[in-house]
Structure 1
């Protein structure tokens, strides 16, 4: 139900279990209805569903983008027919594909139903819900598990898992702090490659349109120019969000002063208490296996709901096994902060602790970038071999991204607060690299 429906065939999260509503017990001393009611009588109450207040936004956005795409399609086809130009007929595929996606999302909002009502019948104790396909779900009031839905929360003093996992994400580890890369490190190069490919295609379209004007004298070819110009900014933005930035965005957990430091994209540093973060497993709802998962730390507003700032740990996974990996991954950092380096390294055994290759003071090599990409499919040698057709070009773009980006440097005040004791027996860094 709703534009994307709800995730089903999954276990209840810890948060959902903790916030389970007992239908025979008051949930609050006050009540609130949020202008959501259609009908109320002695037999039933009927309300709109979650998506009602959001209707129109998707249709508006898709109409705007769709009109631009359709304009480009019309211009390419009409000029191609008039001048018998095969190239423009091929170019028309680009706006045609874009327009088809816009129409697909537009039709999720328009030409459906005005709303998807839910009816609660108190006399026969049944709930009726109107589905997107026009069918009706009917189930008993007592059969529903009523809860507040939210991404699963982890953290605090309770273990997230009995095992720990670090996913080749560590830059430094010692008795004072542990430093790791963030969520985007393993993906570097891919965004730059995708942005470069699409930007090149659109720039070529603009150049050819100008060339056609010069050679034929027909100004109609210029109709393709504004379409390509409108859309070229997005791939260029993708390219420059990956290249010409920083090689990585480190996160440092200081167990002695209980602070977390995160290097922002603009070069500033976020500092907040370990206990101030709301640690949770975030689901992007994109990708395979029900969506990509990763551990996020949110700083919440005073209301405990609004997110003011977030940091993301590096491991990205999917599915139920991916969720377990995320719990083990967070447990590595939680156990370090709560118990120290010795217990967490003891929990790793017999797995060795392997550090990243000194990326805090030198840029990674092309070989290491390629190796890191290939290792993302560890245990699947056939896929590792077959996907080299993607890994090799991504690794080249990753190398270019690293060459054009700066190595982040912590400000001196952070280094002063994270001073390592001389002769620390637990000190690990790039000398313990793969």
Structure 2
């Protein structure tokens, strides 16, 4: 299993039938309307650098883990207090006291384990890297996904051998919304999944994928992929210049990034989901603050010298208005 910022991905396995059915082939037009969808960090004549699915959601995991750490920490304090203050102040003895101590110890261990999980989750967005970009080099025909410092922190795969597909996520039990994103599997010589990373941004829909409204939302991913595919096949001149995602760390940029995340739901023009988004807007902007804190405590990614030398220092492509 490998953690990809939003989900655990099972490795060393064959492709599933669902993954094969949702494949986005690099040599087949995925959409007639390629759109960057606010997923591009930078683009020039040689490479395009994209976000991954976790980037725009940064802060959400922090929000959840802060609550987990606080709740589990309180339970751990209660369990510790019980260990220091036996029931009945001495009136409970023998087996009953042993059971009470065992129960308090058990809850203390479980609570501390949950605190550890929460701290691990906080570390995924704080004191790490500001972003985990994916770079598409049209000259070398390579795809590089940043995972950390050094050459071992980069997943690289030839463009023609990369297996892209639309990955459906689980339906949220409260909002009943489903999340989809583009994923790339790196296959070994036996056709097994050796590595995996996400590309672009997620889309959210409350409608079923098989309905017209649901398909229109999910099809945004095909447009995202076609933007990248067309760049790799035809270059930046065939595309409209993207609205670049800011890489400079600032509260204003975090607000801008998080303020756009609800547009996928609002685009459905459903009264209930629109109301849901408006009610949760304070949470959205609070999470944007956590996004900023996470970025402020983290380092900017640095590609290995071999990747940078491949990409060169080409000038930015001139904007082309479609």
Fold match by TM threshold 0.5: yes
Q: Contact 2:60–2:287 at 8 Å: present in 1 too? A: yes
1:158-307 matches, within 5 Å, as 158-214=28-84, 220=100, 222-223=104-105, 224-265=107-148, 268-287=153-172, 291-304=178-191, 306-307=192-193
Return the offset for 1:331.
0.2
Q: Deviations over 1:238-293 (max 9, x none)?
A: 11222111110011111111111110146611222111101111112343777421
CA 186–427 in structure 1, closer or farther in 2 if over 3 Å, else same: same
Q: 1:322 aligns with which of 197, 209, 217?
A: 217
Q: 1:426 aligns with which of 302, 305, 318?
A: 318
Return the offset for 1:384.
4.9
Between the aligned partners of 2:317 and 2:201, the Cα distance in structure 1 is 27
RMSD over aligned CA atoms reads 2.5
1:13-412 matches, within 5 Å, as 149=18, 150-214=20-84, 220=100, 222-223=104-105, 224-265=107-148, 268-287=153-172, 291-304=178-191, 306-317=192-203, 318=205, 319=209, 320-345=215-240, 353-357=242-246, 359=247, 362-363=248-249, 365-378=250-263, 379=266, 384-412=277-305
Q: Contact 2:183–2:197 at 8 Å: present in 1 too? A: yes
SS in 1 for 2:216: helix
Q: How many residues align?
A: 269
Between the aligned partners of 1:385 and 1:292, the Cα distance in structure 2 is 19
Greater relative contact order: 1 or 2 (C-alpha under 8 angstroms, separation 6 or more)? 2
Return the offset for 1:385.
3.8
Between the aligned partners of 1:213 and 1:420, the Cα distance in structure 2 is 63
Q: Which residue of 2 aligns with 1:132?
A: none
Return the offset for 1:336.
0.4
SS in 1 for 2:45: coil
Q: Contact 1:286–1:292 at 8 Å: present in 2 too? A: yes
Between the aligned partners of 2:307 and 2:51, the Cα distance in structure 1 is 17
SS in 1 for 2:135: strand
Return the offset for 1:215.
5.3
Provide TM-score, normalisation by structure 1. 0.57
Between the aligned partners of 1:289 and 1:385, the Cα distance in structure 2 is 16
Structure showing greater Rg? 1
What are structure 1's unaligned runs of at least 5 residues? 1-147, 346-351, 429-434
Between the aligned partners of 2:54 and 2:148, the Cα distance in structure 1 is 11
Return the offset for 1:392.
2.5
Q: Deviations over 1:69-113 (max 9, x none)?
A: xxxxxxxxxxxxxxxxxxxxxxxxxxxxxxxxxxxxxxxxxxxxx
Q: Contact 1:175–1:420 at 8 Å: present in 2 too? A: no
CA 270–427 in structure 1, closer or farther in 2 if over 3 Å, else same: farther
SS in 1 for 2:221: helix
Q: Contact 2:200–2:224 at 8 Å: present in 1 too? A: no
Between the aligned partners of 1:315 and 1:335, the Cα distance in structure 2 is 18
Return the offset for 1:226.
2.3
Return the offset for 1:386.
2.4
SS in 2 for 1:292: strand
Q: Deviations over 1:16-35 (max 9, x none)?
A: xxxxxxxxxxxxxxxxxxxx
Q: Deviations over 1:212-251 (max 9, x none)?
A: 4445657736343223123322222211222111110011
Q: Contact 1:283–1:292 at 8 Å: present in 2 too? A: yes
